Structure 1
Amino acid sequence: MERTLCMFVFRVLLLILIISQLPCLATTLKNIATDQSSLLALKASITSDPRGIITTNWTESSSVCSWIGVTCSIRHRRVAALDISQMNLSGTVPPHLGNLSFLVSLNLSFNHFSGSLPQELSRLRRLKVLTTKLNNFSGLIPPALGLLKKVKFLQLRNNSFTGSIPISLSNLSNLQVLDFTFNSLQGTIPEELGNLGSLVRLSMQENRLIGPIPSSLFNVSTLETVAFTQNALDGSLPANMCRNAPILKRIYLGSNRLCGRIPSSLLECSQLQMLSLYSNRFSGQIPEEIVRLQTLRM
């Protein structure tokens, strides 16, 4: 009798355990289905796939985690990385990619994607890497990207983005690389970018930027590279360029409209390796102090 009662209790507990896991299982299946649906929307937006990688490999009959360019996390079995770079793809990026809620890295580089970058990407709150370099994206850089608080690498170079640099990007406290080189960005450099306390490389070469270089940028102690070559920047160089950015290694400011004297405080950049100031409107002599920079390369 006692044994029968124990068996009954055990079966009830087992049944309760199974039932309690059903919602989790259903949620997992739903999440996988959401990831699949999002990627199939991307597939449908691709107008040219010369190598047939996406069109033949991304099928509903196979697991999303086995698709070329897709990496799933071991723990959650969700899409954690999407790397479809160098596939010679053409098309647009649908807003559905914003549903890949576990995505950590998105690499669309070296393709022919066009159109705007969907603001729905701002929902990817786990995202650490976003790179779209060497495509044909156009339109404004979505200000909503400033919501990607975990992003470390934001590389949108070699596209056709227009408009101004969103001030909201100054909220990206973990950002290490900000690269908007080779676009058609206009307006001034927001002084709020000086709030990017983890920034290592800031590159906005070959755009249409105007105005002075904000001195706030050189308050970032982690900064190693500043590159603003071929814009229409004016004004004098900030006197504090090296005072609060002691590990600055590369300064590229050629082909602008900068004027005034070259500050002797450049000597404080003790690790400076590259200094490019050609085709500007500087006056006076080159400070003798620069010659004493032993790390400077010719």
Structure 2
Amino acid sequence: MKATAILLINVYLLSTFQLTNAASSKMHANAVREEGKALLVWKVGLDNNNQLKLSSWSALRNPCTNWIGIRCNKVGKIAIFNVTSFGIKGIPNHLNFSSFPHLTTIEHFDNALYGSIPPNIGNLSELIYLSLPGNHFSGVIPIEICKLTTLRHLILFNNSFHRPIPQKIGLLSSLVELDLGENELTGNPHIH
């Protein structure tokens, strides 16, 4: 009787593990799909001549293995978004940063991105490296950047930001590099 009970428990545990594993795999696939969908929405919002530059970005391909400029972490979530020197022109307004909870690096140096940085950038709670120099961003640096408590590098030089520097940038205690030069900014952040 004991052997039968142990066998039934083992069968139950194995089937529960398989169901949990299958559910986890499905959740992971959905997360990757949502991240890819958010990037495709952004791609469509770029100026038309940029579509070829990001031709590897396709709903039929896995962003973690086949998309240029995209790198994923060990668990298969998008962690790095680097389109440096791609010559991409457009606005970032269509990029839903909430779709990237594991993003650690955004590096978009030397493109032609313009407009303002969307305030929802403050949702990137894991962001360590934000580099957007050599673009045409304008307006104010969004105060929401000050929510990025893990940020170590904030590089926004050579854009057209204006108005005062958000004072709370000085409260980003993990920051080791701050470059806001070649903009039209006023004031100094209070560094603590």
User: Shorter-normalised TM-score: what interval?
Assistant: 0.7 to 0.9
Larger radius of gyration: 1
Instruction: Show the counterpart of 2:80.
Output: 105
TM-score where L is the length of structure 1: 0.51
Instruction: Show the counterpart of 2:144.
Output: 168
Q: Secondary structure at the match of 1:185?
A: strand
Cα distance change, pair 195–29 in 1 and its aligned pair in 2 (3 A): closer
Distance 2:161 2:72 in 1: 35
Q: Give aligned-pair identity as a percent.
A: 24
TM-score where L is the length of structure 2: 0.74
Cα distance change, pair 116–22 in 1 and its aligned pair in 2 (3 A): same
The C-alpha deviation readout for 1:171-194, integer Å capped at 9, x for no partner, is 222222211111111111222221
Give the aligned CA root-mean-square deviation in angstroms: 3.4
Instruction: Show the counterpart of 1:182.
Output: 158
Q: 1:159 aligns with which of 131, 135, 160?
A: 135
Question: In the alignment, is the contact (CA less than 8 A) between 1:156 and 1:180 conserved in 2?
Answer: yes
Distance 2:58 2:148 in 1: 36
Question: In the alignment, is the contact (CA less than 8 A) between 1:153 and 1:177 conserved in 2?
Answer: yes
What is the identity, as a one-letter code, of the residue corresponding to 1:141?
Answer: I
The C-alpha deviation readout for 1:58-82, integer Å capped at 9, x for no partner, is 66666554315344444x3x2xxxx
Question: In the alignment, is the contact (CA less than 8 A) between 1:53 and 1:68 conserved in 2?
Answer: no
Cα distance change, pair 202–53 in 1 and its aligned pair in 2 (3 A): closer
Q: Which has the higher contact order (CA 8 A, sep 6+)?
A: 2
Question: 1:159: how far off?
Answer: 0.9
What is the identity, as a one-letter code, of the residue corresponding to 2:86?
Answer: N
Specify every segment of 5 or more residues in structure 2 that has no aligned partner in the other structure, as ranges. none
Q: Secondary structure at the match of 2:114?
A: strand
Distance 1:44 1:152 in 2: 27
Question: 1:198: how far off?
Answer: 2.1
Q: Determine whether 1:67 maps to 2:43.
A: no
Which protein has the bigger helix share?
2
Q: Determine whether 1:150 maps to 2:149.
A: no
Instruction: Show the counterpart of 1:202.
Output: 178
What is the identity, as a one-letter code, of the residue corresponding to 2:88?
Answer: F
Distance 1:171 1:143 in 2: 10
Specify every segment of 5 or more residues in structure 1 that has no aligned partner in the other structure, as ranges. 79-101, 220-298
What is the identity, as a one-letter code, of the residue corresponding to 1:138?
Answer: Y
Distance 1:209 1:115 in 2: 23
Question: In the alignment, is the contact (CA less than 8 A) between 1:163 and 1:186 conserved in 2?
Answer: yes
Q: Please show how residues 1-298 of structure 1 align to structure 2 within 5 Å.
A: 9=8, 13=12, 14-15=14-15, 17-35=17-35, 37-38=37-38, 47-48=48-49, 54-55=54-55, 64-67=63-66, 69=68, 70-74=70-74, 76=75, 78=76, 102-118=77-93, 119-210=95-186, 212-214=187-189, 216-217=190-191, 219=192
Distance 1:171 1:151 in 2: 10
Aligned length: 187
Question: 1:33: how far off?
Answer: 4.0
Distance 2:149 2:6 in 1: 57
Question: 1:26: how far off?
Answer: 3.1
